[in-house]
Structure 1
């Protein structure tokens, strides 16, 4: 709720006197919020029934649920107390909106300073739609981090530390199942990869115990020979037994591991 107040205040200035963004976590109030103060929003005498945090931010306005802003309420006025008669005025315009923009209501105070539901102006309806548009799906990020141990590197070169130096010097590109990796700057070869970019069934397990993930090192043949690679055992792609290769669709948004921009040498080299 507080973040919504900070993101969309210019949608409300001049069209409404106060805005309450209802949220199970933090409910925001425009006139009390630092954003409102910076924009010279006039105090409205509004009272929110919750535990006040910093200015314009309230916790525990209701219990969690499937109602407004993830709370258990279906009437947003339940979180409001009486308006301060020394500050509020008849005709005060109030927008109440959920933090996802899915629920919204527009009120005006009557002569007794009681909020009365009114048809929402189109400009305020647009602001609620804008809030909803900026809500993204809640997606879990699954990242795998692992390292290339000494025995693995020895399978690549007779001098394993040279492979490490080659990776650190960006002469060798590291992928996991063809997916781009982030190589951690510390010692050894420790990489992190987005599991969703990897092929299905990429991971295995051994009794060590340990997880096993695919890892590929791509570099020029001349550099491979220079770091002591097992050049006598090199095999071309065409020589691989194609009948026993599991093929997966290429992810077009990922870089080609053979692309020149993955390496530090010049195009002329």
Structure 2
């Protein structure tokens, strides 16, 4: 799915891991582990683009690294910058694959008592000043397939438009922008952009965040895992829903999905490096922790005879067997991650 240029992919899952061929399962789990471990993965979208994605880095689409996210859709861009445009021009068109904005028709332009320009846009008109499907998706202006922004203008109403009308056309990132003035035949003629208008276009770009790939891990805590916490696993599930237990993934805050069971989602950038592994099922393996007060652990039927103090664990290692060597690896908690018991859990 997508939201104002942000493309959202749901990758992996049990249907691909175990519901298809052995090769499909192997490729799926390798891809999931690579992305979870902050490594790159190259994907080809059926009927779409070839992309290279890696957590914390900009996506590379068809060999081109994306630079900016959009400040918003075309309509939002109009609303944000309308007052700054006012008095410096007569019409603004913000080209956008989702919603293309037209200033004088938009409510923002009306509130400024701007004179209607008489512009007629291609595409499907939504509410005043908002147009859908002005072009096909692509890598051109505003995420469309156009290289010439004038291609989305159908005509000008002779009763409303006038020679000398000043028109700015820009994308939602400011990476594309052109300045036109209508001649005596109401034809737009490209001219050098005034400096005060160019500064606003640059501000549009300034308000665009850098393009970024975010990888969220989504997984479930099964019955055998919960049995490692308590003899009656459903009590752990209920304690989590009652906010008595905080769930983390490698120390990273986890969002608990609503509904039955323990389904968690975490940002892999907040997890330790190389947090993910695999088993031959094939299946992905990820860290998960349940933090609670000792009395609450006792109440939910925890394995009290295996409880150890933090001092003991730090002194002898987390996995201690009499006569066996101890091994431990210190992984610092990222500053952005709170101590698991420092705040209420993040619940759905």
TM-fit CA distance, 1:217: 1.4
Matched positions, count? 261
Report the Cα distance in structure 2 between the residues aligned to 1:222 and 1:192, rounded to whole angstroms: 27
Deviations 1:1-45 (A, max 9, x none): 233223322221222111111234443222233443344322112
Which secondary structure does the structure 1 equivalent of 2:217 belong to? strand
Report the Cα distance in structure 2 between the residues aligned to 1:79 and 1:161, rounded to whole angstroms: 58
- Structure 1 gaps of 5+ residues are 264-269
**Comparing 111-120 and 213-222, the one that deviates more:** 111-120
| 1:149 aligns to 2:222 (yes or no) | yes
Match of 2:289 among 202, 216, 231: 216
**Which of structures 1 and 2 has the bigger CA Rg?**
1
Per the normalisation by structure 2, the TM-score is 0.65
Which secondary structure does the structure 2 equivalent of 1:256 belong to? coil
TM-fit CA distance, 1:256: 0.8
What's 1:267 paired with? Answer: none
Q: Which has the higher contact order (CA 8 A, sep 6+)?
A: 2
- Structure 2 gaps of 5+ residues are 1-73, 320-324
Report the Cα distance in structure 2 between the residues aligned to 1:8 and 1:105, rounded to whole angstroms: 17
What's 2:334 paired with? Answer: 251
TM-fit CA distance, 1:81: 4.6
Distance 1:217 1:64, change over 3 A: closer
TM-fit CA distance, 1:181: 1.0
| 1:173 aligns to 2:256 (yes or no) | no
Distance 1:69 1:171, change over 3 A: closer
**Comparing 113-122 and 10-19, the one that deviates more:** 113-122
Report the Cα distance in structure 2 between the residues aligned to 1:166 and 1:26, rounded to whole angstroms: 45
Match of 2:141 among 47, 53, 68: 68
What's 2:76 paired with? Answer: 3
Which secondary structure does the structure 2 equivalent of 1:167 belong to? helix
Distance 1:137 1:164, change over 3 A: same
What's 1:52 paired with? Answer: 124
Matches within 5 A, 1:1-269: 1-48=74-121, 50-54=122-126, 55-59=128-132, 61-62=134-135, 65-208=138-281, 210-235=283-308, 236-237=312-313, 238-240=315-317, 244-259=327-342, 261-262=343-344
Distance 1:93 1:160, change over 3 A: same
Q: CA RMSD in A?
A: 2.9
Distance 1:63 1:162, change over 3 A: closer
Distance 1:43 1:213, change over 3 A: same
4+ residue runs of structure 1 moved beyond 6 angstroms? none
Report the Cα distance in structure 2 between the residues aligned to 1:130 and 1:28, rounded to whole angstroms: 17
Deviations 1:43-79 (A, max 9, x none): 112233x223224344554555544334455443344
TM-fit CA distance, 1:101: 0.8
